[in-house]
A and B are shown apart, each in its own frame.
Chain A
Amino acid sequence: MRIDFSPVLSRLDYLLEGLAVTVLVAVAAIFLSFALGLLLAICRISRTRALRIFASVYIDVFRNTPFIVQLFFLYYGLPEIGIPTDPMPTGILALSLACAAGNAEIIRAGIETVSKGIVDAGRSFGMSGYQIYRYLILPNALRISWRPLGNAFVNLVLTTSVLSTITVNDLAGNAANVSAETFKPFEVYLTVLVTYCAVTFTVSGIVNSIYALLFSRVAERPVMRGHA
């Protein structure tokens, strides 16, 4: 059979709607999973034993089970306990919960590279725990964690496609519809594949610009890792 992209072009507006949903879901989940991951990372190294155990169990469970199983659990499970599930909010929730586990590990690794001397110095200046985190630990830790976090965000963007299995009308979901309508699966999925590449390259670009904007200054400060 001949390769013919014109049916894809005629349904371009519909595919672009899907792209908009993908971008929306991805952006929401990136912010949520980052915030949740940060919280989990702090719990993971907290002095309170219960928080530490909770965070490590959470991270272990979410990192070692497939995302699609977590998604089905939430999407089919929540209505059982009386919470109605819309595909999109459930999808964003599941994505955020799953990716938070990975983010937490990355951020924790970053925090562990910050030398204890900095914390001691902060304490001897009379800084509070919050201030030590906000002004000493996090800027340094996030600088170390930022690039691996960027990879995690790219992964998150790719994982949004799985939400199409619970009928979210994202790029992958709409592509399946267009492919069924036009009977041109090869052309449709090839176009969508390249579109996803474009999205992830954009995300990488944004991640790099944020690094340059926020952390190139942090890098100039002395004493970051290791003990003197």
Chain B
Amino acid sequence: MIYQNLEFSIADLYLLWRGLQWTLLVWSVSMALGIGLGFVLSLIRHARIPVLAQMVVVFVETFRNSPLLVQLFLVFYGLPMVTPFAPGPAEAAIFTLSINTAAFTVVNLVAALDAIPRGQWQAASSFGLSYRQTMLYVVLPQAIRTAIPPTMNLAISQLQTTSLVSIIGVTDLTRSGLVLYTRTLKPFIIWPIIGLVYFILAKVLSLLAARVERRLQAKNTWFEAAA
């Protein structure tokens, strides 16, 4: 006799809770790593360091123009075959998402860095500031301020993208949905609930982002008045 438990139980809530924890873990770690890596790569790209800068461009274009799913497969199934590095599902997921996020961050930050007028560099050098000092005290504070809103939007949209890590076996929210679906066969209950959780997360993050943006705007006013 085939035993199938078609009903929901309290334990299923725990499953969802664990899934939520994994989703948030994968998301937050890979956002932190990805934005950090993207920051370093943007500096390389902006400084036009020969060879390295071109490598950054190739890296960015490759990862922006290919599906995350294939990137996940390449890292999770492909890397162990050609390198000694054999990541588990969670490591592969975080690694891939970080790299993917870094690629998009570079686009935002390089645009923000390039938007700083040439005159500021000239003014800084006429004050005797070195490249490093100009970058640290003049260019980066402004560029980061412009890059924050698009980067926050990127992070919010990457939350939806993390659902793909369920395909390589991370037991995130989507995976727990799939587990519950295969047991109970009730798609009209499970998928709306899973969707609702993502929806609420996205809304909360958007509210936080809007608040940060308002603060930035308030700080910007003295700057714009002086300009």
Question: Which A residues contact B (CB, under 8 angstroms)?
Answer: 1, 3, 61, 64-70, 72-73, 76-77, 80, 154, 158-162, 164-165, 172, 175-176, 179, 184-190, 192-194, 196-197, 200-201
Contact = CB atoms under 8 A, between A and B. Distances in A.
Nearest to B192: A73
A192 B68 CA distance: 12
Interface in B132-176: 160-164, 166-167, 174
A190 B79 CA distance: 11
A176 B199 contact: no
Main secondary structure of the interface of B (DSSP, over half): helix
Contacts of B188: 73, 77, 80
B120 to A, nearest CB: 28
Contact of A76 (B161, B174, B181): B181
A64 B157 CA distance: 8
Nearest 6 interchain pairs by C-beta: A186-B78, A66-B163, A161-B67, A185-B77, A73-B191, A189-B74
Interface residues of B, number: 37
Given A72-B187, A172-B69, 5 more contacts: A61-B195, A61-B199, A68-B174, A160-B67, A196-B70
B65 interface: yes
A184 B81 contact: yes
A67 B62 contact: no
Contact of A65 (B81, B178, B199): B199
A69 B163 contact: yes
B227 interface: no
Nearest to A165: B167
A206 B199 CA distance: 34
Contacts of B67: 158-162, 172, 196
Given A65-B160, A65-B198, A197-B66, A176 B73 contact: yes
A23 to B, nearest CB: 14
Contacts of A172: 67, 69-70, 73
Nearest to A70: B195
A67 B160 contact: yes
A123 B140 CA distance: 50
Interface of B: 61-62, 65-71, 73-74, 77-79, 81-82, 160-164, 166-167, 174, 177-178, 181, 187-188, 191-192, 194-195, 198-199, 202-203
Nearest to B199: A64
A196 B74 CA distance: 13
B160 A64 contact: yes
Contacts of A179: 73, 77
Contact of A186 (B79, B161, B174): B79
20 contacts: A3-B82, A64-B202, A66-B160, A66-B161, A68-B164, A68-B166, A69-B177, A72-B191, A73-B187, A73-B191, A76-B181, A76-B191, A158-B67, A165-B167, A172-B73, A185-B81, A189-B73, A189-B77, A193-B62, A193-B66
A46 B82 CA distance: 57
A62 to B, nearest CB: 10
A72 B178 contact: yes
Contacts of B73: 172, 175-176, 179, 185, 189
Contacts of A189: 70, 73-74, 77-78
Contacts of B174: 66, 68-69
